[in-house]
Amino acid sequence: MKKYCFDEIVNRTNTDSQKYDGQENYFGSCNLLPMWVADMDFKTPPFIVDAVKRRASHEIYGYNVLTEKYYKAVKRWMKLRHDWDIDEEWIVFTPGVIPALTISVMVYTDPGEKVLLQSPVYPPFFTSITESGREVLNNQLKLVNESYQIDFDDLEEKAASGVRLMLFCSPHNPAARVWSKEEIEKVTDICRRYGIVLVSDEIHSDMVHEGCIHTPALKVTGGEFDKIVTCMSPSKTFNVAGLATSAIIISNEELREKFCSMVRNIHLHNVNIFGLSALEAAYNNGEEWLDQLMVYIYDNYIYADDFFNRHIKDIKVLKPEATYLLWLDCRETGMGDEELENFFVEEACVGLNRGTDYGPGGEGFMRMNIGCPRPLLTEALEKIKEAWDSRK
């Protein structure tokens, strides 16, 4: 078995990186250690880099088409990582999961209608609804014993109000919950009974920690309820978000045709030639690399959690079940949201995502990206500690 190294630090400045070169737009400063945007600071796996280089060496980058290799790779990965058998005809290409969310809102609802989501949740859930002229209906998650739970009574009540679409984040970002099979069964049952299309964003489904199992929503229903749009991508898993390639899985023929019609209409069906090579390489060769990556990321969580416990007890790390994102509970610091942001940006010079960006329930929280080499994580934590100690 090949041993991969995740300790190497790569300078990403001046590469048009949103995380590094775009931080001034978000924070008003370009001199921060950025721990925010959900991409990783690890090199993309060598088998993907090699595949992209091989394609680039052809030196003609014209229009591409999806071939059998794309469909076989997606089917293989779903079976390998999720024990899920899917049909080739279910798979629809889009250049990302977020476009798929917006397309779903546009084709399965009408302007002015309400769309369900569960905050705190990452911001594109909100914008895909509001910028399409629909109204957000929020089934806010409950924080119970430092773990988020679904308020099913509230979900049932809101589902009964005439909602036609629900956006479901599974695993959840930023709460890092891996919803249990039983929880997903309850969500899909409510959607079935009220005729709601469930759009399940499962972009982090490959990145679950040991002891947790992700179950695709469509697999849970066994096909008995198929008004489900499943959004998958190698982008988070293999750090290839910039290659804009995803796989949307829709078994219901009517839903799929509506979705595909919009994809064609707005010309999102053209494939990124390098993204196609990356997806095929990732899904055909990525098992060992991913398994080793997840061990490294979980060790990063243990390291960060221990650091806060020893040095800043007023900041608590909610234990993640998936992703490389930590949801920091800063409510006991006594700082309001504006002061909290200023503390990290102005005093610690570390860029985290504001909890308030994730909607109701995000107040008093910050999101920290630990998908990085340990030395970078250590540097960020030491900066936070230094700023904290200077307040005493």
Mean pLDDT of 205-218: 98
What lies within 8 Å, CB to CB, of 173 at 6+ separation is 38, 121, 122, 204, 323, 325
Percent over 70 (pLDDT), the chain: 100
Domain carrying residue 318: 18-45+287-389
Mean of pLDDT over the chain: 97
**pLDDT band, residue 359 (cuts 50/70/90):** very high
pLDDT of residue 223: 86
Residue 55 has pLDDT above 90, yes or no: yes
175 in any annotated domain: yes
11 in any annotated domain: no
* Residue 349 and residue 311 share a domain: yes
pLDDT in tens, 221-245: 998 999 999 999 999 999 999 999 9
**pLDDT band, residue 358 (cuts 50/70/90):** very high
79 in any annotated domain: yes
Listed range (4-8, 133-137, 269-273, 373-377) with the worst mean pLDDT: 269-273
pTM of the model: 0.97
270 or 288, which is more confident: 288
Residue 144 has pLDDT above 80, yes or no: yes
9 in any annotated domain: no
- Closest by CA to 368, choosing from 331, 312, 296, 315, is 315
Domain boundary among 285, 305, 321: 285
* Residue 237 and residue 334 share a domain: no
Mean pLDDT of 211-219: 97
pLDDT of residue 253: 98
pLDDT in tens, 371-380: 999 999 999 9
**pLDDT band, residue 1 (cuts 50/70/90):** confident
198 in any annotated domain: yes
Residue 385 has pLDDT above 90, yes or no: yes
pLDDT in tens, 88-132: 999 999 999 999 999 999 999 999 999 999 999 999 999 999 999
Mean pLDDT of 27-43: 96
pLDDT in tens, 288-336: 999 999 999 999 999 999 999 999 999 999 999 999 999 999 999 999 9
Mean pLDDT of 375-391: 97
* Residue 336 and residue 250 share a domain: no
* Residue 238 and residue 181 share a domain: yes
Mean pLDDT of 210-218: 97
pLDDT in tens, 307-320: 999 999 999 999 99
> What is the CATH classification number for the domain harbouring 152?
3.40.640.10
* Residue 206 and residue 111 share a domain: yes
pLDDT of residue 2: 80
Domain boundary among 285, 317, 342: 285
* Residue 342 and residue 200 share a domain: no
Mean pLDDT of 57-70: 95
Domain boundary among 285, 309, 327: 285
Residue 147 has pLDDT above 80, yes or no: yes
Residue 287 has pLDDT above 80, yes or no: yes
* Residue 28 and residue 177 share a domain: no
* Residue 147 and residue 22 share a domain: no
> What is the CATH classification number for the domain harbouring 306?
3.90.1150.10
* Residue 301 and residue 182 share a domain: no
* Residue 243 and residue 94 share a domain: yes
Residue 392 has pLDDT above 80, yes or no: no
Compute the distance between CA of residue 91 and CA of residue 74 in angstroms, rounded to an integer: 8
* Residue 266 and residue 252 share a domain: yes
Burial of 224 (C-beta count, 10 Å sphere; 0-12/13-18/19+): exposed
Mean pLDDT of 17-45: 96
* Residue 98 and residue 27 share a domain: no
Domain count, the chain: 2
52 in any annotated domain: no
pLDDT in tens, 169-195: 999 999 999 999 999 999 999 999 999
